[in-house]
């Protein structure tokens, strides 16, 4: 147990922090991230990869601090974890070198975050497959060269790496309040060759859950960076803002609220670290999923509190679009719910823990 950073980790943290502070309004950082080598975080060393979940945490925390809008979570962490676990090192190599961009298309209108509840189908057609269905909330869809699409094959859920320009694919992009690139993806009679299969026929769900867990941990780290900034800004503001002839920060009601924010922030920090630790050390999928659900649920709860109180303690200025706290708050509000909100993860946490003793309750 050692929470100090190694020299390499410090270097990574500092360089991401510098990037996050300097970046102007650039929208897409894929190329830059590739040049800086950050797309290789967590990849096997012989592909030029380095680090793992802790490095992802350090990177995401700094991106969160800078409120950097980037395809890193969707196109590097999420898809990367899947390609790695499915042993598709050919595709992973293209991804970390920045040549190919994969977005994961798994959620469906009726699914309520659950990757198992899908209606998209894959039926055999000669030596390939025909895919039909609709995917929603596909993150960073419009810049992806291919989608990792989940579909029910009749022999379990499988993942297919379908080129974004394949005939039968329609993208409906819509504006997102956090500025992200999001779209629904319709698949109508889309042909996919056998070589597009990522993992085995029945392994799609486990691969997806693994990818969701890695991406969720990354979102937890992003939330950490954002909430730290929101608390700092709130403390700073209440010291400078005078009412009744004194700084707002001199009122105990506000001091206690900020102390509450601090406690929530530290619990959130712990949850983000716990998520990284879970990914580092947990080889059993059930324990891993439980750990991530615990972390994501805590981050959702603490993050919502910190965000709401940051707006409240700023007063009117907190409502203003041009002031930064509002923008952090909106992104935090998305991060809370992306890949599963608090209710979903609390339920997942409960279901995964069902022991024979507990099942007897419902009989």
Among 128, 258, 323, 334, binds another protein (CB under 8 A): 258
2 touches another protein by CB under 8 A: yes
Residue closer to another protein (CB basis): 38 or 102 = 38
Q: List the one residue from 188, 263, 317, 319 that touches another protein (CB under 8 A).
A: 263
| Interface mask toward another protein for 122-161; x: CB under 8 A | ----------------------------------------
CB of 50 to another protein, least distance (A): 14
In the structure encoding, which two tokens stand for residue 208, read together?
């997806």
Q: Considering Cα of 339, then 82, then 97, then 144, what sign does the dihedral take? A: negative
In this chain, which stretch among 27-35, 64-72, 291-299, 333-341 interacts with another protein, using CB under 8 A? Answer: 291-299
What is the DSSP-derived secondary structure letter of residue 70?
-
Measured from the CB atom, is 125 or 280 closer to another protein? 280
Alpha carbon distance 220, 357 (integer Å): 32
Report the nearest approach of another protein to the CB of residue 109 (Å). 25
Instruction: Answer for the pair 63, 225: CB distance below 8 angstroms, yes or no.
Output: yes
> Tokens representing 181?
């690139």
Asked if 271 is part of the footprint of another protein (rule: CB under 8 A), the reply reads yes
181 pairs with which residues across the strands? Answer: 175
Task: Tell whether residue 312 is a contact of another protein (CB under 8 A).
Answer: no
Rule CB under 8 A: say whether 346 interacts with another protein. yes
Examine residue 176 and tell whether it contacts another protein (CB under 8 A): no
182-205: burial string, b at 16+ Cβ within 10 Å, e else:
bbbbbbeebebeeebbbbeeebbb
Binding segment for another protein among 94-102, 156-164, 298-306, 317-325 (CB under 8 A)?
298-306
Stretch that binds another protein, among 4-12, 99-107, 112-120, 169-177 (CB under 8 A): 4-12
Q: Which is nearer to another protein, 6 or 312 (CB)?
A: 6
- Residue 320 C-beta: closest distance to another protein, Å: 23
Please, is 23 exposed, middle or buried when counting C-beta atoms within 10 Å of its C-beta (0-12, 13-18, 19+)?
Answer: middle
Dist CA 220 CA 276 (whole Å):
9
Give the nearest distance from C-beta 187 to another protein in angstroms: 36
Q: Strand, coil or helix: what is 188? A: strand
Q: Among residues 260, 285, 315, 324, which is the contact residue for another protein, using CB under 8 A?
A: 260
Structure tokens at 183: 């779209």
Using CB under 8 A, pick the residue from 110, 189, 194, 281 that binds another protein. Answer: 281
**Residue 136 phi, psi (nearest 5):** -120, 165
Q: Is residue 218 a contact partner of residue 73, using CB atoms and an 8 Å limit?
A: yes
Identified binder of another protein from the candidate list 21, 239, 315, 320, rule CB under 8 A: 239
Count of residues that interact with another protein, criterion CB under 8 A = 48
* 104 forms part of the interface with another protein (CB under 8 A): no
Q: Which of 162, 223, 294, 332 binds another protein (CB under 8 A)?
A: 294
Of 260, 188, 202, give the one whose Cα is nearest residue 231.
Answer: 260
Residue 230 tokens, joined: 């929101």
* Burial category of 292 from C-beta neighbours within 10 Å (exposed 0-12, middle 13-18, buried 19 and up): buried
292 scored as a contact of another protein (CB under 8 A): no
Q: Residue 101 in contact with residue 95, Cβ under 8 Å? A: yes
Half-sphere exposure of 332 (CA within 13 A, CB side): 33
The alpha carbon of residue 199 and the mean position of all alpha carbons in its chain are separated, in whole angstroms, by 22
User: Which residues in this chain contact another protein in the complex, by CB under 8 A?
Assistant: 1-6, 9, 54, 235, 238-239, 249-250, 252, 255-256, 258-260, 262-263, 266-271, 273-274, 276-277, 280-281, 294-295, 297-298, 301-302, 346-347, 349-350, 357-358, 360-362
């Amino acid at each position: 147990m050692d929470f100090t950073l190694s020299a390499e980790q410090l270097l990574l943290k500092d360089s991401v922090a510098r990037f996050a502070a300097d970046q102007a309004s650039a929208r897409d950082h894929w190329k830059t991230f590739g040049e800086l080598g950050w797309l290789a975080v967590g990849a096997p060393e012989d592909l030029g990869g380095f680090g793992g979940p802790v490095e992802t945490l350090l990177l995401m925390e700094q991106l969160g601090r800078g409120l950097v809008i980037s395809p890193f979570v969707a196109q590097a962490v999420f898809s990367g974890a899947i390609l790695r676990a499915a042993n598709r090192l050919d595709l992973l190599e293209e991804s970390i070198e920045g040549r190919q961009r994969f977005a994961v298309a798994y959620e469906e209108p009726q699914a309520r975050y659950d990757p198992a509840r899908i209606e998209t189908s894959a039926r055999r057609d000669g030596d390939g497959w025909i895919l039909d269905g609709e995917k929603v909330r596909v993150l960073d869809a419009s810049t992806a060269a291919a989608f990792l699409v989940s579909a029910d094959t009749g022999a379990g859920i499988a993942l297919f790496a379908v080129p974004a320009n394949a005939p039968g694919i329609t993208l409906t992009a819509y504006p997102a309040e956090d500025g992200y690139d999001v779209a629904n993806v319709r698949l109508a009679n889309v042909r996919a060759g056998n070589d597009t299969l990522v993992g085995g026929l029945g392994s799609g769900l486990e691969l997806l859950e693994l990818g969701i867990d890695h991406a969720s941990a990354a979102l937890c780290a992003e939330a950490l960076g954002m909430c730290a900034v929101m608390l700092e800004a709130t403390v700073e503001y209440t010291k400078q803002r005078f009412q009744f002839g004194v700084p707002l920060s001199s009122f105990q009601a506000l001091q206690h609220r900020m102390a509450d924010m601090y406690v929530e922030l530290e619990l959130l920090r712990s949850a983000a670290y716990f998520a990284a630790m879970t990914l580092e050390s947990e080889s059993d999928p059930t324990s891993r999923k439980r750990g991530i659900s615990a972390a994501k649920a805590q981050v959702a709860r603490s993050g919502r509190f910190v965000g709401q109180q940051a707006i409240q303690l700023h007063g009117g200025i907190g409502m203003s679009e041009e002031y930064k706290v509002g923008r952090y708050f909106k992104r935090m509000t998305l991060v809370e719910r992306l890949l599963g909100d608090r209710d979903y993860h609390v339920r997942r946490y409960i279901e995964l823990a069902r022991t024979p003793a507990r099942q007897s309750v419902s009989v």
